[in-house]
């Protein structure tokens, strides 16, 4: 099998992994070494699906010993199998990197033979890349659940970011779809990496030359829509992961029906892309806007409104906080106005120190007023074109277009009185 075929098979097998970020670590270039790393990360291309291509995202091998029913590479599936040798993978990475195609390597793997063997293979590749090829760019590596902690630790010293996929949002689903994985097995390496990072932080203070352990932190991902969890459960889990395991990112991937199985949605189900989008919006609110999960959803509202994003939804349910005065409101409140993001809020904060802001000024700062106008005043004046006393009116005005609204029922004869249930039944039968 030539390199081209291998690359195609192993890219195809890895593409459902969402995380492709190269962020989180600033590593200045070093004379004699190829590459550097930039804290914000750099995307180098965008695939036809609009997702960024930042790293060379491939599997080491797709020859898996496990049988997770949602996965294309499970042992019982009839697919072409291929494996890279460490040399091939190093060559590809270096040559792509030199041409500015990629930011580094994203190395994942199916479980070849057993977790330890797989880990050894990946370790060999990373060692060669860092020590022999003097590669100084970004490396993201997947920890393999069930592998020896010593191997995971060694991987962590070569990689910038590590991730363990939590796969499914609850233990019950995990048992159903991925019988060889369990919550404990997945969380064990996650905890180990967290502790390693913490310990390393103190080492670095003490010894300047201490090797860095997973400097860009760890991330995880889960599949949305393959199992019946509600958005509220998922968001709660996400918040827990950020708090307990100090993760840098939690990724969501809308389930693509690639395999037929009795425990899975039918192959014709479209991927829940809107739901995934809403989850990411909520994730941003958690990380950058100072929201808490229970402010966004709760037991009474366990799912996102498909037509209203979570921030707008929060705002129309808390109209008592609005309108706020742009020239005086605290930064935290500016962030909560629909239509004002981190950038706009910071621009407002810096511009209002020098001059009183009016709506024209806001426009010049690049603040989009389409939704914000219902929630703010400038110098005490509002430009809301609608009366502000009914939140439902505001909600209707800032609703996203393009999604079907509540389904419209069959047209009916207007009547002075509301039709009683009995009327409806009579209408159906045609008797009066």
| Residue 15 contacts another protein per CB under 8 A | yes
| Residue 390 contacts another protein per CB under 8 A | no
Identified binder of another protein from the candidate list 1, 26, 45, 383, rule CB under 8 A: 45
Question: Binding string, 139-178, against another protein, x = CB under 8 A?
Answer: ----------------------------------------
Nearest distance in Å: CB 98, another protein: 6
CB of 48 or CB of 266, closer to another protein: 48
Nearest distance in Å: CB 361, another protein: 4
Strands 52-53 and 45-46: antiparallel
CB of 8 or CB of 148, closer to another protein: 8
Footprint of another protein on 189-228 (CB under 8 A): none
Nearest distance in Å: CB 404, another protein: 19
Give the number of residues in contact with another protein, rule: CB under 8 A: 55
Footprint of another protein on 320-349 (CB under 8 A): 347
Which of these ranges, 52-60, 210-218, 391-399, 414-422, lies near another protein under the rule CB under 8 A?
52-60
CB of 43 or CB of 237, closer to another protein: 43
Identified binder of another protein from the candidate list 19, 21, 25, 35, rule CB under 8 A: 35
| Residue 361 contacts another protein per CB under 8 A | yes
**Cα Rg, the chain, nearest whole Å:** 26
CB of 11 or CB of 202, closer to another protein: 11
Residues in CB range of 77: below 8 A, 6 or more apart: 71, 259
Identified binder of another protein from the candidate list 87, 95, 199, 292, rule CB under 8 A: 95
Q: What is the largest CA-CA distance in the chain?
A: 92
| Residue 266 contacts another protein per CB under 8 A | no
| Residue 353 contacts another protein per CB under 8 A | yes
Nearest distance in Å: CB 93, another protein: 12
CB of 47 or CB of 150, closer to another protein: 47
Nearest distance in Å: CB 226, another protein: 14
Identified binder of another protein from the candidate list 150, 201, 273, 383, rule CB under 8 A: 273
| Residue 19 contacts another protein per CB under 8 A | no
Binding-site ranges for another protein (CB under 8 A): 3-4, 7-8, 11-12, 15-16, 28-36, 42-53, 56-57, 92, 95-96, 98-101, 134, 254, 256, 270-271, 273, 347, 350-351, 353-355, 357, 360-361, 364-365
């Amino acid at each position: 099998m030539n390199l081209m075929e291998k690359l195609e098979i192993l890219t195809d097998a890895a593409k459902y992994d969402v995380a492709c970020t190269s962020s989180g670590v600033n590593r200045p270039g070093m004379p004699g070494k190829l590459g550097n790393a930039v804290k914000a990360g750099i995307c180098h291309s965008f695939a036809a699906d609009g997702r960024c291509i930042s790293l060379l995202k491939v599997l080491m091998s797709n020859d898996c010993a496990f049988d997770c029913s949602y996965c294309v590479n499970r042992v019982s599936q009839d697919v072409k199998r291929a494996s890279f040798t460490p040399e091939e993978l190093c060559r590809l990475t270096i040559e792509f990197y030199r041409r500015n195609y990629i930011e580094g390597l994203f190395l994942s793997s199916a479980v070849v033979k057993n977790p330890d063997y797989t880990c050894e293979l990946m370790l060999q590749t990373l060692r060669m890349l860092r020590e022999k090829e003097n590669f100084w760019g970004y490396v993201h590596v997947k920890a393999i659940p069930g592998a020896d902690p010593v191997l995971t630790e060694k991987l962590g010293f070569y990689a910038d970011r590590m991730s363990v996929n939590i796969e499914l949002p609850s233990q019950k689903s995990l048992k159903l779809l991925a019988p060889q994985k369990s919550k404990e097995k997945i969380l064990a390496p996650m905890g180990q990496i967290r502790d390693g990072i913490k310990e390393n932080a103190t080492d670095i203070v003490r010894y300047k030359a201490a090797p860095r352990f997973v400097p860009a932190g760890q991330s995880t991902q889960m599949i949305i829509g393959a199992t019946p969890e509600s958005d509220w459960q998922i968001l709660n889990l996400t918040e827990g992961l950020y708090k307990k395991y100090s993760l840098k990112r939690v990724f969501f991937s809308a389930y693509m029906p690639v395999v037929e199985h009795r425990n899975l949605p039918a192959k014709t189900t479209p991927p829940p892309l809107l739901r995934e989008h809403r989850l990411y919006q909520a994730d941003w609110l958690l990380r950058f806007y100072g929201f808490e999960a229970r402010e966004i959803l709760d037991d009474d509202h366990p799912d996102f409104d498909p037509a209203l994003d979570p921030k707008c939804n929060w705002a129309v349910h808390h109209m008592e906080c609005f309108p706020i005065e742009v020239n005086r409101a605290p930064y935290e409140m500016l962030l909560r106005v629909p239509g004002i993001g981190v950038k706009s809020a910071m621009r407002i904060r810096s511009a209002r120190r020098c001059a009183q802001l009016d709506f024209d000024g806001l426009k010049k700062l690049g603040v989009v007023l389409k939704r914000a106008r219902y929630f703010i005043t400038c110098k005490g004046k509002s430009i809301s074109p609608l009366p502000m006393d009914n939140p439902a009116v505001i909600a209707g005005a800032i609703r996203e277009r393009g999604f079907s609204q509540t389904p419209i029922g069959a047209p009916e004869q207007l009547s002075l009185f509301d039709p009683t249930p009995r009327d409806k039944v009579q209408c159906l039968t045609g008797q009066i």
